[in-house]
Structure 1
Amino acid sequence: MSAPGPPPAAAPAGDAPWTPQPACALLLLCALGALLGRGWLRGRGARGVPPGPAPWPLVGNLGPSLLPRCLRRGGWGTARGPQAQLAGLAREFGSVFSLFVGPQRVVVLSDFRSVRDALVQQAEVFSDRPRAPLVSMVTRGKGVVFAHYGPVWRQQRKFSHATLRHFGLGKLSLEPRIIEEFRFVKQEMQRHGDSPFNPAPIIGNAVSNVICSLCFGQRFDYTNREFKQLLALMSRGLEICLSSQVLLVNVCPWLYYLPFGPFKELRQIQKDITVFLRQIIQAHRDSLDAENPQDFIDMYLLHAEEERRRDSSSSFSEDYLFYIIGDLFIAGTDTTTNSLLWCLLYMSLYPDVQEKVHGEIERVIGPSRAPSLTDKAWMPYTEAAIMEVQRLTAVVPLAIPHMTSENTVLQGYTIPKGTVVLPNLWAVHRDPAVWEKPDEFHPNRFLDDQGQLLKTEAFIPFGIGKRVCMGEQLAKMELFLMFVSLLQSFTFSLPEDAVEPVLTGRFGLTSAPHPFNVVVSER
């Protein structure tokens, strides 16, 4: 695999950058057009659509009409993040409101009732994905996360979910792989002794290896150069895709092909990841044993061959497999890694909760036996602590954007076909009508008077409906087994000289904690 190309060289000192003179005139014309057309855009909405802030032409609500609100509330770029800003707008316009990103209407759902009514009660209408140029260029409309809703998506998701279950998803048969991976986590953490260290690389390696064992039939050593590079490329790729420059591709698709800057870097990352994954697929093709499939790739290749014999136009192909593997690897690594990191951070900040979890581990499992999923029924406080971290952090705060496939009505409002829909899961999890003191960390909110676990309908960290996270069961297994193993083995604390951590996270496709160090002491 080749590394991403270096950044373009800086211009020599004294060479003034070339600035096209017509640019100023163009900006003036755009501003004039915006002023003249503002009334037109204000009235372009369909009758009965959800209310929202008045948009401007060209920029929609990314312009002056929304910017002052954002500045008053702290700004899009501050620690509060867009999810909190959107929750603030919901208090002003209602739990179902609309805004514009450029010319595109976006409807934001901010409470559990509206999210359930859309994604469950009207699932067929609200399960499509937006036709964003950047997403189309990166995924080619394939995979299971961003693919458009329809027969092909249903076939691919059904097969993928069934195959993952065959290899242990949600079953006790996957336990040994997770427990075995923790052995390497423990060794890595022990190497740091009583020195502070960033747990993110260790946790990320472990979670990725569980996915690798399911998809590739193998795990990678944490020092493996190609494995480390793949994780770094995926992390960097996600970061670039959410940068303001690259997001402009959705407005001007030709920017994607520019031979410099983040556009060139993103294409190089895609190329490098493609080489890595296609080499693995080809290796599986060369060693494929039809009588003894070892992993997801083997099962998919066999199924694709069978489908081709039956129907030459089948969607099952090595090309589609590549995008599904990418989805499983990226989505399965990023979300669970961040959830575990949030858990470690909150345990470090709330040592009293950490001690209660440890006490439950001692009573149910003891100091040496490896944890099992069967222990969950006897460990309600531990489960409640994990759930409370998930509630507060909302690792996928705005879910993955949905889109309506036809005109519909939601809670009395008209939602036109092609409307982008954002379920604000962060707002759902902090709705004061559902959660008492929603901004406080309080695991006992998930326990009844007898200390048993309470199931709360509005707790939906994995989403709901037809687009619910396919890896939900795997994520729950990893979270419980890894979290319990970590607290069975170590006590976590922040370094004495650590600054107070920012708990609002870094907004992206997922909400990751800002980098932090921990100190571990063995139990």
Structure 2
Amino acid sequence: MLSLPRDCLLQKDIRFGYAQCNFIPFILLLSPGIVFAHYGPIWRQQRKFSHSTLRHFGLGKLSLEPKIIEEFKYVKEEIQKHGGNPFSPFPIISNAVSNIICSLCFGQRFEYNNSDFKKMLDLMSRGLEISINSQILLINICSWLYYLPFGLFKEMRQIEKDLTVFLKGIIREHREALDKENPQDFIDMYLLHMEEEMKSNSNSSFDEDYLFHIIGDLFIAGTDTTTNTLLWCLLYMSLNPEVQEKVQKEIEKVIGPDRAPSLTDKVHMPYTEATIMEVQRMSVVVPFGIPHMTSEKTTLQGYTIPKGTLIIANLWAVHRDPAIWENPKNFSPERFLDEEGKLIKREYFIPFGIGKRVCMGEQLAKMELFLMFVSLMQNFIFTFPKDSKKPIMTGKFGLTLSPYPFNVIVSKR
């Protein structure tokens, strides 16, 4: 295993991007899918279809805005139930973010008091947290460890089983109720495309098994990463009230107190955008990106790297490199602004990765982050409870980097 140097990552060298390897047991749920599948014709077909279908349902388009803004109304209601008492924002934010991807993929959203759905979100978070535990990683050496009937091994298998039942149940419901003349979501479109493919190509890669893995990709990756980023946003805002105040002043100036935000506002809100970017730089919710594998024998900085070597891109190190960022441990949105207060594009700011394996959900994540973050700042002031201990800011390390549990106090603006 080799930790991919920053320069190699930015070169987008095709030798380091052609194939990937499933080296974490939890990924069995996601593989082959899109995120962790080997690069090749099948991956290209599936990714192209997935991207075009998601765009059909609003990915990266203003047409998706109303769905996100509508979901925030439920977030607002849930937050207001707590009054001025400290509470954990984790379940509310997780449910809201997941509902956006669920509406695109499943054609439905889930109520915040839906115990079964809350269980799925908790299981997903737990699975990502323990997936790179040292015990679990031993499975890469001794695969039979995966079937041990105790400890983390048993817990991981149960998580995969429960999530599999949940996702396959949704696919089954769609298959039984499919209206060929009126597809409602990603699953419907995939099932219709699958039927067409089978008529002309008996070896088509489009089948229900692949659909299951893609849905796993979208549901798990699409929920966890954006959820954690928004939670980091709330934590940093509650710990940095002066930054929160600047964001809110910009919101008042550009949007006002009542109008819902729009992506068209983003260009007029450089400080708010810089704040989101600084949270992403500090937190790096996917610290090691997506694992790659060399497609051929190659040489890097004098080292010979055999074909099939697992490559890890240390995105966390890129975003904390003191040779690139001045005082990288300090939270400072101003580093993304020039002297005139205009947004600066930084070459080494790559929270979604780069190259052929760049996150397919980048556009959706950016939409959700901006609209949700602005809506939260527009409506509420977030304060860290005075009697609470500040959480460890390095975060909980797993396949993704989530903040440690924390509470906030919310007051209405």
For normalisation by structure 1, the TM-score amounts to 0.77
Following superposition, the deviation at residue 446 of structure 1 comes to 0.7
Match of 1:329 among 219, 238, 252: 219
1:389 aligns with 2:279: yes
Cα 1:173/1:133, change in 2 over 3 Å? closer
The amino acid of 2:20's aligned partner reads R
Match of 2:309 among 419, 430, 436: 419
* Distance (Å, rounded) in 2 between the aligned partners of 1:363 and 1:261: 54
Q: Which has the higher contact order (CA 8 A, sep 6+)?
A: 2
**Residue of structure 2 equivalent to 1:264:** 154
Following superposition, the deviation at residue 360 of structure 1 comes to 0.3
* Distance (Å, rounded) in 2 between the aligned partners of 1:281 and 1:234: 18
* Distance (Å, rounded) in 2 between the aligned partners of 1:189 and 1:137: 36
* Distance (Å, rounded) in 1 between the aligned partners of 2:164 and 2:391: 36
1:440 aligns with 2:330: yes
**Residue of structure 2 equivalent to 1:212:** 102
Cα 1:518/1:412, change in 2 over 3 Å? same
Following superposition, the deviation at residue 259 of structure 1 comes to 2.5
**Residue of structure 2 equivalent to 1:185:** 75
* Distance (Å, rounded) in 2 between the aligned partners of 1:408 and 1:108: 15
**Residue of structure 1 equivalent to 2:2:** 107
Following superposition, the deviation at residue 433 of structure 1 comes to 2.1
* Distance (Å, rounded) in 2 between the aligned partners of 1:441 and 1:319: 44
Following superposition, the deviation at residue 127 of structure 1 comes to 3.2
* Distance (Å, rounded) in 2 between the aligned partners of 1:133 and 1:205: 25
CA displacement, residues 279-327 of structure 1 (integer Å, 9 cap, x when unaligned): 1111111121222111000010011111111101101001110111011
**Residue of structure 2 equivalent to 1:25:** none
Following superposition, the deviation at residue 171 of structure 1 comes to 0.5
| SS in structure 2 of the partner of residue 466 of structure 1 | helix
1:156 aligns with 2:46: yes
1:505 aligns with 2:395: yes
The amino acid of 1:107's aligned partner reads L
1:132 aligns with 2:27: no
Question: 1:110 touches 1:427 (CA, 8 Å); kept in 2?
Answer: no
Following superposition, the deviation at residue 183 of structure 1 comes to 0.5
Cα 1:191/1:153, change in 2 over 3 Å? same
1:364 aligns with 2:249: no
Following superposition, the deviation at residue 190 of structure 1 comes to 0.5
* Distance (Å, rounded) in 2 between the aligned partners of 1:500 and 1:282: 45
CA displacement, residues 190-249 of structure 1 (integer Å, 9 cap, x when unaligned): 011110001011000000000100000010101112211211221222233222222211
**Residue of structure 2 equivalent to 1:116:** 10
Following superposition, the deviation at residue 417 of structure 1 comes to 0.8
CA displacement, residues 47-94 of structure 1 (integer Å, 9 cap, x when unaligned): xxxxxxxxxxxxxxxxxxxxxxxxxxxxxxxxxxxxxxxxxxxxxxxx
Cα 1:138/1:295, change in 2 over 3 Å? closer
Following superposition, the deviation at residue 110 of structure 1 comes to 3.9
Cα 1:326/1:391, change in 2 over 3 Å? same
Q: 1:140-289 residue pairs with structure 2 within 5 A?
A: 141-289=31-179
Cα 1:275/1:351, change in 2 over 3 Å? same
Computing the radius of gyration from Cα coordinates, the structure with the larger value is 1
Cα 1:325/1:137, change in 2 over 3 Å? closer
The amino acid of 1:252's aligned partner reads C
* Distance (Å, rounded) in 1 between the aligned partners of 2:66 and 2:47: 26
* Distance (Å, rounded) in 2 between the aligned partners of 1:127 and 1:494: 45
CA displacement, residues 241-296 of structure 1 (integer Å, 9 cap, x when unaligned): 22222221111101112233322232222222222111111111112122211100
Overall identity of the aligned pairs, in %: 69
* Distance (Å, rounded) in 2 between the aligned partners of 1:158 and 1:384: 31
* Distance (Å, rounded) in 2 between the aligned partners of 1:445 and 1:466: 28
Gaps of 5+ in 1: 1-105
The amino acid of 1:253's aligned partner reads S
Q: Please report the RMSD computed on the Cα atoms of aligned residues, expressed in angstroms.
A: 1.4
* Distance (Å, rounded) in 1 between the aligned partners of 2:353 and 2:83: 39
CA displacement, residues 103-144 of structure 1 (integer Å, 9 cap, x when unaligned): xxx221343x22112xx2x225433112537367444x4111
**Residue of structure 1 equivalent to 2:205:** 315
Match of 1:400 among 286, 290, 298: 290
Question: 1:203 touches 1:340 (CA, 8 Å); kept in 2?
Answer: yes
* Distance (Å, rounded) in 2 between the aligned partners of 1:425 and 1:384: 19
* Distance (Å, rounded) in 2 between the aligned partners of 1:266 and 1:419: 26
Question: 1:492 touches 1:518 (CA, 8 Å); kept in 2?
Answer: yes
Following superposition, the deviation at residue 480 of structure 1 comes to 0.2
| SS in structure 1 of the partner of residue 190 of structure 2 | helix
Question: 2:294 touches 2:307 (CA, 8 Å); kept in 1?
Answer: yes
The amino acid of 1:472's aligned partner reads E
Match of 2:186 among 296, 305, 308: 296
**Residue of structure 1 equivalent to 2:228:** 338
Match of 1:377 among 258, 261, 267: 267
* Distance (Å, rounded) in 1 between the aligned partners of 2:156 and 2:250: 46
CA displacement, residues 350-374 of structure 1 (integer Å, 9 cap, x when unaligned): 1111010000000000001000000
Gaps of 5+ in 2: none
Question: 1:446 touches 1:453 (CA, 8 Å); kept in 2?
Answer: yes
Across the two proteins, how many residue pairs are aligned to each other? 413
